[in-house]
Amino acid sequence: MRVKSVEFHEEADAEYERAFDWYFARSEPAAFDFVREVDRAIDTIVQAPDRWPSDAYGTRKFLLRRFPFALIYRELSSKIEILAVAHGHRRPGYWRDRF
């Protein structure tokens, strides 16, 4: 089985950077733990992208363990696209205009 590449939507990338910066300003170790947790999530998603249920929009949600964020993604024929690095307290579905 061929492993698909992962790409971040431009706005998801900005959310990831903002979250990292927020943690970094408060605790460098926490910021790097956040990066490791996102990397672990991506590795898990790549191994079995259809493991999590699909919603009406064809997207899936992976909840991070140690941080109040979820990776919202969709599987395309050639790649996995991360549409949002969504904070758990943000309004649901704010990212739906990204595809």
74, part of any domain: yes
pLDDT at 72: 96
Instruction: Provide the strand spans (E) within 1-99.
Output: 5-8, 60-63, 69-75, 79-87
Residue 64 falls inside a structural domain: yes
Sequence-separated (6 or more) residues with CB below 8 Å from residue 2: none
Q: Give the pLDDT score at 3.
A: 80
> What percentage of residues in the chain have a pLDDT greater than 90?
78
Domain that holds residue 78: 5-88
Whether 99 maps to a domain, the answer reads no
**Model pTM score:** 0.91
Q: Which residues of the chain have pLDDT under 70?
A: 1-2
Number of domains observed in the structure of the chain: 1
* Residue indicated by tokens 């910021």: 31
Query: Is 97 domain-assigned?
Result: no
Q: What is the CATH number of the domain that holds 78?
A: 3.30.2310.20
Predicted pLDDT of residue 1: 57
Does residue 84 belong to any structural domain of this protein? yes
Per-residue confidence (pLDDT) for residue 90, from 0 to 100:
80
